[in-house]
């Protein structure tokens, strides 16, 4: 075989080799400055971190890439897309192959951290935010969805595979990252010496407290003043798990229809959206209802009664360490008509049934 034949076969081999390995060669190249559309290295990292922080509290959903739910690689994809208009690979393993590998000691906010949680391949990814912490979308454990975690937690240190760099890092960016800077969403994902200010962590387990105010409605059943029946306040404290919470609630209420002030102390339990509550209520004043036939009197003034109710909250907006939401309540307070009176549906239902809508803010301690 001639030298020319060998040369032709060599060129053909190189050509097909390049075709076969092109994807892997490209995947190993992270985002370069030319792809940042004029942003500096530190601005690019700031935008990615701010975008990732905006998803805190989003539930876990396999294959998801938006606020309706996202998985771990979906969070990375959405953060780079929203922050830089750049589309990353879509799986944790492909993102790992795409990044420039760095040592853990080189980690800077905006770099990526990878884990092997099942099998032998990289199966989980998060965005490093400084201070040994990272933001990610967890599918299992005491807290799921988009949360902050620490690299030194037993599970994550045990499954840690390594770190990767997708964004450029120059001397200016390194200095800014060392000094700390504020996130664009109003939070402060990097503060002081790279420590994380845990904002919007309502999704995590722990103690919480909160307050609220509501408008009680009337006007559609006999004896209630039109539209406005009264107001109620809410002060609560309790403990939240991943999906459920319990709390003790003090909920003072002014009832214009009955002319009384109530002071319920209730125990609530349920999810972030739906809760039931029950507890004793002390009534100040003598309850009476104005109806067409005159005043209808009820027993229970100055007495310890009870309250049973149900509430629903929507929509839920994560703000700092808490959650702001509108909520509605249906409650039953068992006042009895005076002896000698017979049951009358409209006034007696009005006296005992309360419908309220309001706003509340609950935050983690």
- The answer to whether residue 72 is catalytic is yes
CB 278 within 8 A of CB 267: yes
Question: Structure tokens of 180?
Answer: 């700390």
Cα distance between residue 279 and residue 267, in whole Å:
6
Given the residues 31, 72, 281, 324, the one annotated as active site: 72
> Of all helices (H) and strands (E), which one includes residue 146?
strand 145-150
DSSP state of 342: P
Helix, strand, coil distribution of the chain in percent, nearest 5: 25, 40, 35
Cα distance between residue 100 and residue 108, in whole Å:
13
Where helices occur in 90-210 by DSSP H, the ranges are 92-98, 154-159, 171-179
- The answer to whether residue 136 is catalytic is yes
CB 362 within 8 A of CB 208: yes
CA distances from 219 to 223, 259, 333 (A): 8, 15, 18
Q: For 240-277, b where at least 16 C-beta lie within 10 A, e where not — what string? A: beeeebebebebebbbebbbbebebebebebebeebeb
Cα distance between residue 274 and residue 239, in whole Å:
15
Given the residues 45, 46, 133, 136, the one annotated as active site: 136
Q: Which residue has the tokens 């700092």?
A: 320
Cα distance between residue 67 and residue 180, in whole Å:
28
Angle at 316 between CA 212 and CA 51, to 5 degrees: 130
Cis before 315 (ω within 30): yes
Given the residues 45, 47, 124, 364, the one annotated as active site: 124
- The answer to whether residue 199 is catalytic is no
List, by residue number, the catalytic residues: 72, 124, 136
């Amino acid at each position: 075989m001639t030298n020319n034949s060998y040369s032709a076969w060599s060129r053909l081999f190189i050509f097909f080799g390049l075709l076969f390995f092109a994807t892997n060669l490209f995947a190993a190249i992270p985002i370069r400055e030319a792809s940042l559309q004029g942003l500096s290295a530190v601005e690019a990292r700031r935008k990615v971190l701010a975008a990732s922080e905006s998803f805190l509290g989003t539930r876990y959903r396999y294959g998801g890439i938006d606020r309706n739910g996202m998985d771990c690689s979906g969070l990375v994809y959405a953060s780079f897309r929203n922050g830089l208009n750049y589309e990353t690979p879509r799986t944790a393993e492909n993102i790992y192959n795409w990044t420039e590998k760095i040592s853990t000691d080189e980690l800077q906010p905006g770099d990526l951290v990878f884990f092997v949680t099942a099998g032998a391949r990289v199966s989980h990814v998060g965005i490093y935010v400084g201070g040994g912490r990272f933001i990610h979308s967890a599918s299992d454990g005491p807290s799921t969805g988009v949360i902050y975690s620490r690299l030194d937690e037993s599970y994550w240190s045990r499954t840690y595979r390594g770190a990767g760099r997708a964004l450029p890092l120059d001397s200016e960016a390194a200095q800014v990252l060392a000094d700390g800077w504020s996130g664009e969403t109003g939070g402060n994902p990097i503060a002081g010496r790279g420590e994380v200010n845990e904002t919007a962590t309502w999704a995590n387990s722990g103690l919480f407290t909160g307050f609220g105010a509501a408008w009680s409605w009337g006007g559609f059943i006999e004896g209630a003043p039109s539209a406005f029946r009264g107001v109620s306040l809410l002060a609560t404290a309790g403990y939240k798990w991943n999906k459920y919470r319990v709390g003790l609630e003090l909920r003072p209420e002014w009832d214009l229809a009955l002319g009384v002030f109530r002071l319920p102390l209730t125990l609530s339990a349920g999810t972030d959206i739906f809760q039931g509550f029950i507890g004793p209520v002390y009534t100040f004043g003598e309850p009476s209802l104005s109806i067409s036939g005159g005043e209808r009197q009820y027993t229970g003034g100055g007495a310890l009664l009870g309250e049973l109710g149900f509430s629903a909250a929507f929509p839920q907006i994560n703000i700092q360490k808490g959650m702001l939401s509108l909520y509605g309540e249906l409650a039953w307070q068992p006042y009895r008509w005076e002896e000698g009176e017979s049951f009358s549906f409209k006034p007696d239902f009005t006296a005992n049934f309360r419908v309220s809508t309001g706003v509340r803010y609950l935050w983690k301690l």
